[in-house]
Amino acid sequence: MITLAKNIQHLVDFIVAKARSHNEEEIFKLNHYVWIALLMLPVAIGSGAYNVYVNNYALAFLIILFSGHMLGSLFLIPTIQKTYLLYHGANLLYTFLILYMVFHADAENSRILWAYIYPVGIIFLFGHRLGFLWSCLLLGMIIGLFLFVPEIHTVYNIPFQVRFGISYLVVAVISSWVEYHGSRSHQALLLEQKLLNEEIERRKILEKELQRLAQTDPLTSLYNRGFFLESAEKELKRAKRYNTPIGFAILDIDHFKNINDTFGHPVGDSVLQVLAKHCLNSLRETDLVGRLGGEEFAFLLLHVNEEQARAKMEKLKEELSQLNVAYNGDSTLNFTVSIGLAMLSEHIKSLDELYIHADKKLYAAKDAGRNCVR
């Protein structure tokens, strides 16, 4: 039974997924409507066949008309925007069908019992408020038949009419109460799901922010020392595996201590930020750049030979020397840099060795008078 219910739910989901509306409440009602249509279809077909068998062709026609509408409406779901028209159409047909069965009683006077299905189905479809109003409206129509059609008293006596009205109303009230609490649970579930999705999105954003903070230098927004060296290690292993050229450069701002002492640390920070921004804009996306600490920066240049790497660093040195760093309103200052460049070779086995080699070249650039590439 559970397996059958799951299979029906899969079919319901398949049909509902084709709906043009994406409103949650409308999709919720449509899900109910498809369930009712699928459950009522075999019942309607069976009842129609039985009435044909007993030569009650008028009732059989109404039942077939109703079941045909329910079945046909499922094929209209992908094409109709206002799906509630399907619900109301089915409701009117079933209301007329119930009234017909009440008025044209069978030999056992049992057709009126089909009216008990109405409040259960209509409240399930329209919700506890509108569904209960429709249920009361049908009960009022049936009472109207009891009161204003004299010959109906020969079919249903007064005590039966009273018991039917009370029992029908009890079914409607219980169905409405069950649907009310079910809708509250559904709304609470939707709210909880919404809050959960918001929390997941918030955590994803927070995780990305934490990852960014763990990888970048807060002042310059470049890779920090740890993440840069970790990334450089991976690229170095890849370069050695595929025998591709790679260069490692260390940049140091000349006389940076004097800039801090003369102009103040905020101006020194501005120099670092201007340098970092220019490096990001001038280098290729495949190159890596990071701040090692203080005024020292490192570059990993991929797929370049020594001549290309040196030309790139010479150009960067010249561009940085022409930058103007604003301070105290209209005042500006310039700075220069020294760069040490080392290339991956068969004699260098690790990133540490490449780092040390580039660092020695940096000191050679400083000894040569700074503002140069060695």
CB within 8 Å of 337: residues ≥ 6 apart: 251, 252, 253, 254, 275, 317, 320, 321, 371
91 and 19, same domain (yes or no)? yes
Model pLDDT, residue 107: 61
The neighbour count for residue 232, using CB atoms within 10 Å, is 21
Give the residue, 57 or 5, on which the prediction is more confident: 57
315 and 351, same domain (yes or no)? yes
Q: Which two tokens stand for residue 207?
A: 């995780």
Q: Does residue 299 surpass a pLDDT of 90?
A: yes
List the beta bridge partners of residue 250.
298, 340
Model pLDDT, residue 298: 96
CB within 8 Å of 77: residues ≥ 6 apart: 15, 16, 18, 19, 30, 34, 83, 86
Residues 147-155, mean pLDDT to the nearest whole number: 78
77 and 15, same domain (yes or no)? yes
Q: Which two tokens stand for residue 121?
A: 């189905």
Model pLDDT, residue 369: 92
Q: Does residue 8 surpass a pLDDT of 80?
A: no
Q: Does residue 249 surpass a pLDDT of 90?
A: yes
Model pLDDT, residue 322: 94
Domain-embedded: residue 117: yes
| Burial of residue 333 (number of CB atoms within 10 Å: 0-12, 13-18, 19+) | middle
Domain-embedded: residue 211: no
Model pLDDT, residue 102: 82
175 and 257, same domain (yes or no)? no
List the beta bridge partners of residue 288.
300
pLDDT tens digits along 202-228: 888 888 878 777 889 999 999 999 999
Domain-embedded: residue 205: no
Model pLDDT, residue 34: 82
Domain-embedded: residue 307: yes
CB within 8 Å of 235: residues ≥ 6 apart: 246, 288, 300, 302
Q: The domain containing residue 334 runs over which residues?
A: 225-367
Tally the domains of the chain.
2
49 and 169, same domain (yes or no)? yes
- Looking at the chain, the whole-number percentage of residues with pLDDT higher than 90 is 38
> 25, 192, 201, 295: which is the annotated catalytic residue?
295
Domain-embedded: residue 295: yes
Backbone angles phi, psi at 334, to 5 degrees: -115, 165
| Burial of residue 68 (number of CB atoms within 10 Å: 0-12, 13-18, 19+) | middle
Of the residues 132, 165, 199, the one at which a domain ends = 199
pLDDT tens digits along 17-67: 787 777 777 777 788 788 877 877 787 788 888 888 888 888 888 888 888
Q: Does residue 229 surpass a pLDDT of 90?
A: yes
- Confidence bin at 1 (pLDDT 50/70/90): low
92 and 26, same domain (yes or no)? yes
List the beta bridge partners of residue 332.
326
184 and 242, same domain (yes or no)? no
Domain-embedded: residue 113: yes
Of the residues 199, 217, 252, the one at which a domain ends = 199
189 and 244, same domain (yes or no)? no
Q: Does residue 161 surpass a pLDDT of 90?
A: no
240 and 178, same domain (yes or no)? no
Q: Which two tokens stand for residue 310?
A: 């040196």
Domain-embedded: residue 261: yes
Residues 305-318, mean pLDDT to the nearest whole number: 94
Separation of alpha carbons 276 and 85, rounded Å: 63
332 and 257, same domain (yes or no)? yes
| Burial of residue 114 (number of CB atoms within 10 Å: 0-12, 13-18, 19+) | middle
159 and 235, same domain (yes or no)? no
Domain-embedded: residue 209: no
- Confidence bin at 170 (pLDDT 50/70/90): very high
Concerning whether 295 is annotated as a catalytic residue, the answer is yes
Model pLDDT, residue 214: 81
Of the residues 199, 214, 247, the one at which a domain ends = 199
Work out the mean pLDDT of the chain and round it to a whole number. Answer: 86
